[in-house]
C-alpha cells in the first residue's frame, strides 16, 4: 500500500480568525503558533512522512505562497507544490490534484488533510488513517475522519452516522452545519454525531467517479486538462481554466450528496486551531488559566486570557479577564474571548478603513 499512498495537504487559507497574527502574506499555517520551533505546515508534513515517501506528498496552496512553502519544506520538489492561481475553495483544488495524481498512478489511495490542525496523539491518528486507507483500497468509499465530541461545540460542523458497521467505520447519514448550542447538545446526547475534521481518505478512482456524478462542471473542466498534467504545459492550462471552476467546498460538492460516505470515529487530541480560544485550550497555562507566549509579560489580577506579544516587548497587564491580547506588527488587538467570532469581520473593517496593509 505504501507506494500507492499519496497525501494532499491543503495550505491555501488565510486564517482570518487568527488575525492579526495571521496575515494575507503570512497566514497561520506558516507560523510557529504553538511555540515549538516549527510551523503548523511543517508539523503536518512531518506527520505524514511516516505513511508515504516525500515524493508522494503534495501541498495544495495559492500561488502567492509557493516560495514560503519551498522555504519551510526545504528540499521539496517544485513539482509537489500544486499552485492555485485563485481561491475557489476545496472542491476545485482536490479535483485538480486528483486528476494529476491519477495520471501518475491510477491505483493511488489519497489522504486529504488541512495543514493547520493540531494532532496531540499522532500514533492513534496514524492508526485511523491506515485503517481508512485499507478500507478505501478495498471499497468504493469516501472516508472521513470524525472526532468524538467532548463538548457541545457550536464552532464545528458535525457528521451524523449510523452506529453500525465494521469496527470504528460507520456509514454516514448526513453532514450538519455549525449548530446552535441546543442542537449541539442534542447531537452529543444522541451518541451518533462526531465533529467534522475535514480529513478525507479515498481511492483516486473513487473521488473522480464521485466528482463525475455530483460535481459534473468541475469534473469536466479538469478532465479537459488530462493530456497536460505532469507536463510543461500544465501551468498554462491551469492558469487559463482554473478560475472557471465553481467556488465550492468538497463537502457541498460531493460529500453531502454521495451515498458511499463513511466515517472513522476516534479521539486523538485533535483541534482545528481555528480561533484564539482553541489555541488557548491547548496551550500551557498559569494558575489563573492564562496562556502567555513570552517571559516579558507581567500579568496580575487577570484570568482566562491568551496573550501573544513580541519577545522583545514588555507587556504589563492588570485586571483583564477572558480576553485576547495580540500585539503583532502594526496591529494591537484586545478583544473579549467570548466574542472572537467577530474578529474575521473586524479585520475586514480595519482593512477597508485604514488600508490593506493591516490585513
155: CATH: 3.90.550.10
pLDDT in tens, 94-151: 999 999 999 999 999 999 999 999 999 999 999 999 999 999 999 999 999 999 998 8
Whether 52 and 71 share a structural domain: yes
Domain coverage including residue 311: 276-354
Over residues 268-286, the mean pLDDT reads 90
Whether 13 and 124 share a structural domain: yes
Residue 119 lies in a domain: yes
Among 236, 271, 306, the domain-final residue is 271
Whether 123 and 205 share a structural domain: yes
SS3 (DSSP) at 95: helix
Whether 221 and 239 share a structural domain: yes
Over residues 197-209, the mean pLDDT reads 97
* Inter-residue contact 305 to 325 (CB < 8 Å): yes
Residue 37 lies in a domain: yes
pLDDT of residue 168: 84
Whether 288 and 199 share a structural domain: no
Report yes or no on whether pTM surpasses 0.75: yes
Residue 359 lies in a domain: no
Whether 79 and 168 share a structural domain: yes
Residue 174 lies in a domain: yes
pLDDT in tens, 278-323: 899 989 999 999 999 888 999 999 999 999 999 889 999 999 999 9
pLDDT of residue 295: 87
The answer to whether residue 191 scores a pLDDT higher than 50 is yes
pLDDT of residue 14: 87
The answer to whether residue 84 scores a pLDDT higher than 50 is yes
Whether 244 and 301 share a structural domain: no
For residue 175, give the nearest of 104, 99, 261 by alpha carbon: 261
The answer to whether residue 164 scores a pLDDT higher than 80 is no
The answer to whether residue 167 scores a pLDDT higher than 80 is no
Among 239, 271, 303, the domain-final residue is 271
Over residues 22-26, the mean pLDDT reads 91
Q: Lowest mean pLDDT of 7-11, 104-108, 184-188, name the range.
A: 184-188
pLDDT of residue 26: 92
Residue 105 lies in a domain: yes
Whether 39 and 165 share a structural domain: yes
pLDDT of residue 165: 62
pLDDT in tens, 206-231: 999 999 999 999 999 999 999 999 99
Q: How confident is the model at residue 2 (pLDDT cuts 50, 70, 90)?
A: low
In which residue are the cell numbers 464552532 written? 155
* Inter-residue contact 41 to 116 (CB < 8 Å): yes
The answer to whether residue 1 scores a pLDDT higher than 50 is no
> Mean pLDDT for the chain?
94
Whether 221 and 105 share a structural domain: yes
* Inter-residue contact 146 to 196 (CB < 8 Å): yes
CA of 280: how far to CAs of 130, 205, 276, 344, in Å?
Answer: 30, 41, 6, 18
Residue 42 lies in a domain: yes
User: How many separate domains does the chain show?
Assistant: 2
Residue 28 lies in a domain: yes
The answer to whether residue 200 scores a pLDDT higher than 80 is yes
Whether 325 and 238 share a structural domain: no
Percent of the chain scoring above 90 in pLDDT = 83
How is residue 171 written as a grid cell?
456509514
Q: Lowest mean pLDDT of 69-73, 109-113, 177-181, 205-209, name the range.
A: 177-181
Whether 307 and 254 share a structural domain: no
The answer to whether residue 201 scores a pLDDT higher than 80 is yes
Among 226, 246, 271, the domain-final residue is 271
Q: How confident is the model at residue 162 (pLDDT cuts 50, 70, 90)?
A: very high
In which residue are the cell numbers 500500500 written? 1
* Inter-residue contact 228 to 109 (CB < 8 Å): no
Whether 228 and 343 share a structural domain: no
pLDDT of residue 166: 67
Residue 85 lies in a domain: yes
Amino acid at each position: 500500500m505504501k507506494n500507492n499512498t499519496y497525501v494532499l495537504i491543503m495550505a491555501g487559507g488565510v486564517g482570518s480568525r487568527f488575525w492579526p497574527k495571521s496575515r494575507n502574506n503570512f497566514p497561520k499555517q506558516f507560523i510557529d503558533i504553538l511555540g515549538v520551533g516549527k510551523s503548523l505546515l511543517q508539523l503536518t508534513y512531518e506527520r505524514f512522512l511516516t505513511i508515504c515517501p516525500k515524493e508522494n506528498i503534495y501541498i495544495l496552496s495559492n500561488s502567492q505562497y509557493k516560495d514560503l512553502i519551498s522555504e519551510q519544506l526545504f528540499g521539496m520538489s517544485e513539482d509537489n507544490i500544486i499552485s492555485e492561481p485563485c481561491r475557489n475553495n476545496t472542491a476545485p483544488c482536490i479535483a485538480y490534484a486528483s486528476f494529476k495524481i491519477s495520471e501518475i498512478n491510477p491505483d493511488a489511495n489519497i489522504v486529504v488533510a488541512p495543514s493547520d490542525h493540531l494532532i496531540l496523539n499522532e500514533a492513534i491518528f496514524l492508526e485511523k488513517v491506515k485503517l481508512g486507507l485499507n478500507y478505501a483500497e478495498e471499497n468504493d468509499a469516501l472516508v472521513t475522519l470524525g472526532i468524538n465530541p467532548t463538548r457541545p461545540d457550536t464552532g464545528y460542523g458535525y457528521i451524523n452516522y449510523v452506529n453500525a458497521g465494521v469496527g470504528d467505520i460507520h456509514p454516514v447519514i448526513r453532514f450538519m452545519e455549525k449548530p446552535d448550542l441546543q442542537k449541539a447538545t442534542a447531537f452529543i446526547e444522541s451518541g451518533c454525531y462526531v465533529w467534522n475534521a475535514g480529513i478525507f481518505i479515498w481511492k483516486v478512482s473513487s473521488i473522480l467517479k464521485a466528482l463525475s456524478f455530483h460535481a459534473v462542471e468541475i469534473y469536466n473542466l479538469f478532465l479537459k486538462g488530462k493530456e497536460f498534467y505532469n507536463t510543461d504545459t500544465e501551468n498554462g492550462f491551469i492558469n487559463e481554466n482554473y478560475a472557471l471552476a465553481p467556488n465550492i467546498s468538497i463537502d457541498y460538492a460531493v460529500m453531502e450528496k454521495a451515498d458511499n460516505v463513511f466515517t472513522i470515529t476516534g479521539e486523538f487530541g485533535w483541534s482545528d486551531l481555528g480561533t484564539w480560544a482553541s489555541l488557548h485550550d491547548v496551550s500551557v497555562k498559569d494558575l489563573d488559566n492564562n496562556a502567555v507566549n513570552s517571559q516579558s509579560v507581567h500579568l496580575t489580577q487577570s484570568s482566562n486570557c491568551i496573550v501573544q506579544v513580541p519577545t522583545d516587548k514588555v507587556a504589563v497587564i492588570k485586571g483583564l479577564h477572558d480576553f485576547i491580547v495580540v500585539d503583532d506588527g502594526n496591529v494591537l488587538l484586545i478583544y473579549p474571548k467570548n466574542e472572537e467570532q467577530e474578529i474575521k469581520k473586524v479585520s475586514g473593517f480595519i482593512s477597508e478603513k485604514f488600508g490593506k496593509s493591516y490585513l
